[in-house]
Amino acid sequence: MINNLKKKIIFLISLLVFYSPFIFSQEKWELNKDSDGIKVYSKEVEGYRFKSFKGTTIIKGTLQNFIFTLSDIKNIPDWGHNVESAKLLEQSGDTIQIYYSIAKAPFPYKNRDGVYQNSYKWDSTSKTLIIDIKVLDEYIEENNKYVRVRGYGFWKIKVLSENKLETTFSMQVDPGGSVPAWIANMFVDDTPYYTLNKIKKIIENNRNTSYNFNFID
């Protein structure tokens, strides 16, 4: 009986881990922008001074191509909005990556930095890939040249067909420092819009079909 109870608890925890992005995304969102096939939403979140954002679009490309592009850490500045540099720190197989990134901030504010962990979870039944994003506050010491970012988020990629991906990118970010919330919230649309716009172009222009990731069945 105890073993059965343990199994039920483990099952419930696994459901919460996999479906937490869906719970996060089902709350009320306000549509702020609809341009170039990209929709951008934001919302107030209780306990946070800064708004969450969410961007959605359809990408014409394969899931393997998407994973390759997202996991190619050194080239994140090619598509990540205002990302100046990115460096891989640790990797566990194909499903966990930890990396350090520096983002440009407008004058007179310091640039921001953060250590991020991307965890890939594939559900073959729904043909959906979730990439959980965690900011690891204490993975490395803070650098006085930068202000440390904190937050969490996710990518959700639903395979509609072999070359059609329903793509969602969402984050709740605290940029740290003395940036007033009303100023930061004015620009909350830019990150999802320009990030999705750039990564979409990269994936749709890449015709390489040789990528293979073992956790995708």
CATH number of the domain at 23, please: 3.30.530.20
Question: In this structure, is residue 217 part of a structural domain?
Answer: no
Residue 108 lies in a domain: yes
CA distance 54 to 57: 10
Structure tokens at 138: 């204490």
Of the chain, the percentage scoring pLDDT greater than 90 comes to 69
Cα 78 from Cα 17, distance rounded (Å): 30
Q: Is residue 166 part of a domain?
A: yes
Structurally, how many domains does the chain consist of? Answer: 1
Judged against a pLDDT cut of 80, whether residue 6 lies above it is answered with no
SS3 content of the chain, % helix, strand, coil (to 5): 30, 40, 35
pTM: predicted TM-score of the whole model, two decimal places? 0.85
Q: Average pLDDT in the 160-165 region?
A: 94
What pLDDT is attached to residue 137?
Answer: 86
Q: How confident is the model at residue 118 (pLDDT cuts 50, 70, 90)?
A: very high
**Does a structural domain hold residue 187?**
yes
Residue 10 has pLDDT above 70, yes or no: no
Residue 88 lies in a domain: yes
The reply to whether 212 falls in a domain is no
Domain enclosing residue 89, as ranges = 2-205
- pLDDT higher than threshold 90 for residue 8: no
Q: pLDDT value at position 26?
A: 52
CA distance 68 to 171: 21
Does residue 20 register a pLDDT over 80? no
Confirm whether 33 is domain-assigned.
yes
Mean pLDDT to the nearest integer, 31-55? 94
- Tell me what pLDDT residue 79 has: 98
Q: Provide the pLDDT confidence category of residue 2 given band limits of 50, 70 and 90.
A: very low
Q: Find the mean pLDDT for residues 64-90.
A: 97
In a domain, 214, yes or no: no
Residues 69-84, mean pLDDT to the nearest whole number: 97
Beta carbons of 119 and 92 less than 8 angstroms apart:
no
